[in-house]
Structure 1
Amino acid sequence: MNREAFRERLNQGPLLLDGAMGTMLHARGAHIGQCFDALSRDNPALVAEIHRLYIDAGADMIETNSFGANRYKLSEYGLEDEVEAINKAAVALARRVIMGAFKPVLLAGSVGPLGVRLAPLGRVKREQAEAAFGEQLAALVAPPEGLPGAAGIDLLLIETMSDVKEVEAAVRAARAIAPDLPIVAQMTFTRDDRTLLGNRPADVAQKLMALDVDAVGVNCSSGPAQVLRLLVAMRAAVPEAVLAVSPNAGWPQQTEGGRVLYPATPAYFGEYARAFVKAGARLVGGCCGTTEAHIRAMRAALDTPGASARELPRVSVEGSEGGKVPAERPTA
């Protein structure tokens, strides 16, 4: 898919992305200390199951299981020399699932932070960051082996970033390898509506748009209420932009038994799906803590003719969704 084709697809209506991968893997038995990115190769049935669940729930787009599959993050597991193999396995597996679903589902290549600070805040120079992203991206865009005629990723999803300079390094690497590849760039924000480096959403949106990407937005962060607030601020700053949002299912809470729960329910996400689109988002999905049930609820909300969002909880600068979810409560 090229950039023009991506724009044409967006003109047909908003795209529904998938939900979480990491928390879904953990819920199905993947140990928190293992490399989730390597599971596309080492436990493909588990990853494929999650891809299928999201497609069956109505996602228009799924992401490769490659969020941390760069040299720096993989070195934490002694896998830094397997960047190509792990990323290619992620693409091939996702492509097989899409082909088996017989649905026009797009494949986004998930690229997250390197896990190290860029200069001048850290030790990694811009050229080193670009090289690391380039190594990963080359594997993601390559046609998957064993699938004649199949393409690599349809678009690139740069996500959960805190440093615009790191996004810039990823974009530069992508444009050098695949100049016409659509790019969606998403940042994450803390409870005070700033990035870890202190940037506000309006400033972030303007800086991202200057990088020649095809969509900008927010993922991870808190739950839908905060992300809606951030989306509105971005829209005001860059009204011409294509916007994308994928919130967490609220701030995680730990029970007395040590279990981690994400409080935002599927019904809550369904309420916000149309609110996101009404506020200007063209790509909507979920991040940490979301499941196929959240995506199914969003699909139903987006597909309801003439539906409008109910009155939503008050959005305040100080507010968070640390479990105070209106109307619905987590039952697990």
Structure 2
Amino acid sequence: MNSKDLLTELATRPLLCDGAMGTQLIAAGLAPGDCGMLWCVEKPDAVEAVHRRYRDAGCDLITTNSFGGCTTNLERHSLTGHADELNRAAAQAARRAVGDNAWVLADIGPFGGFLEPLGEMTAAELFKLFVQQAAALKAGGADAALIETMTDPGEAAVAVKAAKQAADWPVIATYAFDRGDGTNYRTMMGTTIEVAMKEAIAAGADVVGANCGTAMNLEDYARLAEQMVRAAGKTPVIIQPNAGAPQNVGGKDIYPATPAEMAALVPTLLNAGVRIIGGCCGTSPDHLRAMGETLRKQS
């Protein structure tokens, strides 16, 4: 699809983004802790199968398997020097899976550290790394960039600017918020919704919002959405909730929300003014199918 058409389409109707990738790959045999991006070159059929299931579930936006594709993250898996290859392969896998039947989002997650003065990474150094990742994803066929799960508005701004430098395409930026007292949502770095939205928009983000989060239940995402739409002003908002707050069962985190429960959240998000709805941790193609059916009935 033409990346320019994404924002045009978004102005006419709400869109459905996909859900979790990592848990789907683990279900297909990926060992927890292993580098899921390697499957883009070693087992591309498995990655493409996940993308196709989400597209078959009705998702308009399909996210590349490249969340940890910054060089700093790949170094932890002894994959220094493979960033271009893996990110390009991630975008190619998504494009092969969905063809022109969905927009492919170039997934760019946090670099895994802290910017100066809390860490040793400078903004200029990180900018180059994010440009490298975004450019490789664009070369692989991605239509737009998704900067996600950010907690530091400084890092988010660097990532947005880098994505804009790498290509002429729409850029979406989302943060992960903590529940706190259930009313005053902040990121791990203490950033408020207002500051998070302001910094991302000032950096050039075309769409802003939230994904994931800590101890967030479905009611929290409803309240978060209302506050976020107010803070974003005229900028479209995306919300990608987890399947409820995780519960530890037998040493494993289980996300309890059913597809029906996730679908029941959709009208509330739409009424709040959210324009893109998707899923994050614990969600599956079944969740997104149910959410998409409700979205289409409501819009």
TM-score interval (norm. to shorter): over 0.9
- Conservation of the 8 A alpha-carbon contact between 1:202 and 1:234: yes
Where does residue 80 of structure 2 map in the other structure?
Answer: 80
Q: 1:213-235: CA deviations, max 9, x gaps?
A: 10000001124321221111122
Where does residue 232 of structure 1 map in the other structure?
Answer: 226
Change (3 A) 1:122 1:55: same
Where does residue 196 of structure 2 map in the other structure?
Answer: 204
Distance 1:24 1:4 in 2: 30
User: Residue 208 of structure 2: which of 207, 211, 216 is its match?
Assistant: 216
Secondary structure of residue in 2 paired with 1:216: strand
Instruction: Give 1:241's aligned amino acid.
Output: T
Counterpart check, 1:90 vs 2:85: no
Distance 1:83 1:299 in 2: 33
Instruction: Give 1:289's aligned amino acid.
Output: G
- Conservation of the 8 A alpha-carbon contact between 2:267 and 2:298: no
Q: Per-residue deviation at 1:281?
A: 0.8
- Conservation of the 8 A alpha-carbon contact between 2:131 and 2:163: yes
Secondary structure of residue in 1 paired with 2:81: helix
The worse-fitting range, judged by mean Cα deviation, of 297-306 and 240-249 is 297-306
Q: 1:118-154: CA deviations, max 9, x gaps?
A: 1111110011111111111110111x4xxxxxxx211
Which has the greater radius of gyration?
A: 1
Where does residue 41 of structure 1 map in the other structure?
Answer: 41
TM-score by length of 2: 0.94
- Conservation of the 8 A alpha-carbon contact between 2:17 and 2:62: yes
User: Residue 170 of structure 2: which of 182, 192, 206 is its match?
Assistant: 182
User: Residue 159 of structure 2: which of 159, 167, 170 is its match?
Assistant: 170
Distance 1:223 1:155 in 2: 29
Where does residue 253 of structure 1 map in the other structure?
Answer: 247
Q: 1:81-101: CA deviations, max 9, x gaps?
A: 1001101111111111112xx
Distance 2:137 2:219 in 1: 33
Secondary structure of residue in 2 paired with 1:67: coil
Distance 2:225 2:298 in 1: 24
- Conservation of the 8 A alpha-carbon contact between 1:3 and 1:214: no
Secondary structure of residue in 2 paired with 1:88: helix
Q: Which runs of 5+ in 1 are unaligned?
A: 145-151, 307-332
Q: Per-residue deviation at 1:3?
A: 6.8
Distance 2:83 2:33 in 1: 19
Q: Which runs of 5+ in 2 are unaligned?
A: none
Q: 1:263-321: CA deviations, max 9, x gaps?
A: 11111110111211111111110001100011001111012258xxxxxxxxxxxxxxx
Aligned residues: 293
Instruction: Give 1:209's aligned amino acid.
Output: I
Counterpart check, 1:120 vs 2:113: no
- Over the residues paired in the alignment, what is the CA RMSD in angstroms? 1.6
Q: Per-residue deviation at 1:237?
A: 2.1
Where does residue 137 of structure 1 map in the other structure?
Answer: 134
Secondary structure of residue in 2 paired with 1:304: helix
User: Residue 286 of structure 2: which of 281, 289, 293 is its match?
Assistant: 293
Distance 2:259 2:157 in 1: 34
Distance 2:296 2:169 in 1: 28
Distance 1:3 1:210 in 2: 21
The share of aligned pairs that are identical, in percent, is 38
Q: Per-residue deviation at 1:202?
A: 2.1
Where does residue 260 of structure 2 map in the other structure?
Answer: 267
User: Residue 103 of structure 2: which of 99, 103, 106 is its match?
Assistant: 106
- Conservation of the 8 A alpha-carbon contact between 2:3 and 2:103: no
Distance 1:95 1:173 in 2: 22
Counterpart check, 1:28 vs 2:28: yes
Instruction: Give 1:128's aligned amino acid.
Output: E
Q: Per-residue deviation at 1:12?
A: 2.3
Where does residue 15 of structure 2 map in the other structure?
Answer: 15
Instruction: Give 1:161's aligned amino acid.
Output: M
- Conservation of the 8 A alpha-carbon contact between 2:4 and 2:169: no
TM-score by length of 1: 0.85
Instruction: Give 2:40's aligned amino acid.
Output: S
Q: Per-residue deviation at 1:2?
A: 6.8
Distance 2:247 2:26 in 1: 16
